[in-house]
Amino acid sequence: MAELLPVIGQIDESTLMLEPLEAAVVTAIRRQGPLSRSDLSEYLDYSRASVTGIVGRMIQTGVLTEAGEGKSAGGRRPFLLDINPNLGYVVGVDIGATSLDVALADFRGNILRQASEPADVRGRPDEFLGHVADVIDDLLARQGAIPAAVVGIGVGVPGPVEFVPGVLIAPPLMPLWEGFPIKSFLRERFPMARVAVDNDVNIMARGEHQAGAGRGLDNFIFIKIGTGIGCGIISHGEIYRGADGAAGDVGHICIDYNGPVCHCGNQGCLEIMAAGPAIAAAAEARAGAGESAFLAARLAERGSLSAVDVGDAAASGDRAANEIIRRSGKMIGGVLATLINFYNPQAVFIGGGVAGIGHGLLSAIRQATLRRATALSTRHLRIEYSPLGEDAGVIGGIWLALENVFIIK
């Protein structure tokens, strides 16, 4: 991880207020990397004189910095412009049903410090977010920085989010969080930070788009398989949330009208039948029936099983474990085929805690998807695990923060 000199003191809020063309300069550099004044003029279709004047002001306020020389086009080598990494800190927070990941990053999005731990979101949101703030404080202290140096926080939560106010609406896994003012709560501890809140799988898709295998792709979907199952949609290079922020809640698509009752109240949802808890429950049943010596031994040792245990058993060649994984993958792949027929994405990336149980799951998902989706929609389709792994969420949270840190005049 890169190390920076600590940002000391409180940033002037006026520095984060940009004119529309200044905001366009920042966006261009974030998307394209360091650019010369001529590059910016061509990219934004503005005169070189206009861009030079704007860039000069942005260097004075500390938003931009000159970052070395670029390639010569026959004359003098141009100076490249980049975002000033020392303008302030941003924080990515990925809250899962059973985990918490927090990362402190510089203003270019480079992770400087990171913390991960088990968590339980079913309790009071003020207590949980108070702990999140404590974790951020600890990361800042280790970096030699102060809370006033944090200018942006991006938070992912495992439930439906109304994006503008940043509140959860009827979250099945965390009912006590409904309507809780996450933004204002965190701003009490970090008064200079603009806080943005989104669904956890949306920020994972954002992370994949900015720093993973989705970089350069305009249309793809990200499937998170963990305690629940969700889908983040990148459409024309942007997160698609739908009219009310509920897009991508594929875990509650019904796959069996006579199936078990889901925590959302409906029967036979994909999530209750194929996510991590369903895999663990199936493993305990097979172990109890004497169908897997491996799973029975693990159950006797630990008292319960997880999807990771099933992955371990499958890796050892356990037949029951492999059957459980194939069944889950087949159900997920069936729903995924419908999504692909409807949306025709360039790629599907799969992440979340259950994605780590091995390539047997990915193989089963691929087989079911390709068997049920149309030939045209899958002709150039990629279906693969996210290369970012468990960092997809915090990386997405960092970029969510960076995209919302400026105020456009």
- Provide the residue ranges of all domains of the chain, joining segments of one domain with +: 13-83, 89-208+392-408, 213-387
Phi, psi for 396 (deg, rounded to 5): -65, -40
Q: Can you give the pLDDT at residue 10? A: 58
Average pLDDT, whole number, for the chain? 92
Q: State pLDDT tens for residues 223-260.
A: 999 999 999 999 999 999 998 888 999 999 999 999 99
Q: Are strands 167-168 and 229-235 parallel, antiparallel or unpaired?
A: unpaired
Q: Can you give the pLDDT at residue 344? A: 97
Q: Please tell me the distance from the alpha carbon of residue 110 to that of residue 304, in angstroms, as a whole number.
A: 39
Q: Can you give the pLDDT at residue 7? A: 46
Q: Can you give the pLDDT at residue 131? A: 97
- Tokens of residue 284, six digits: 């305990």
Same fold, 89-208+392-408 and 213-387: yes
Among 315, 322, 253, which Cα is nearest to 282's?
322
Q: Please tell me the distance from the alpha carbon of residue 27 to that of residue 19, in angstroms, as a whole number.
A: 12
Q: What is the CATH number of domain 89-208+392-408?
A: 3.30.420.40
- Tokens of residue 323, six digits: 């059957």
Q: Please tell me the distance from the alpha carbon of residue 186 to that of residue 147, in angstroms, as a whole number.
A: 11
Q: Can you give the pLDDT at residue 3? A: 44
Q: Can you give the pLDDT at residue 189? A: 96
Q: State pLDDT tens for residues 234-244.
A: 999 999 999 88
Q: Please tell me the distance from the alpha carbon of residue 153 to that of residue 349, in angstroms, as a whole number.
A: 25
Q: State pLDDT tens for residues 121-151.
A: 999 999 999 999 999 999 999 999 999 999 9
CATH number among 3.40.50.800, 3.30.420.40, 3.40.50.11720, 3.40.50.300, domain 213-387: 3.30.420.40
What is the chain's pLDDT, residue by residue, as a tens digit (409 residues)? 444 444 445 567 788 899 999 999 999 998 888 999 989 999 998 888 989 999 999 999 999 999 877 676 666 777 899 999 999 999 999 999 889 999 999 999 999 999 999 999 999 999 999 999 999 999 999 999 999 999 999 999 998 999 999 999 999 889 999 999 999 999 999 999 999 999 999 999 999 999 999 999 999 999 999 999 999 999 999 999 998 888 999 999 999 999 999 988 999 999 999 999 999 999 999 999 999 999 999 999 999 999 999 999 999 999 999 999 999 999 999 999 999 999 999 999 999 999 989 899 999 999 999 999 999 999 999 999 999 988 999 999 999 999 999 988 7
Q: Are 132 and 93 in contact (CB under 8 A)?
A: yes
- Tokens of residue 77, six digits: 């080598």
Could you tell me what percent of the chain has a pLDDT over 70? 96
Could you tell me what percent of the chain has a pLDDT over 90? 82
Q: Is 323 exposed, middle or buried (0-12, 13-18, 19+ CB in 10 A)?
A: middle
Among 190, 192, 201, 200, which Cα is nearest to 223's?
201
Domain 13-83 has CATH 3.40.640.10: no
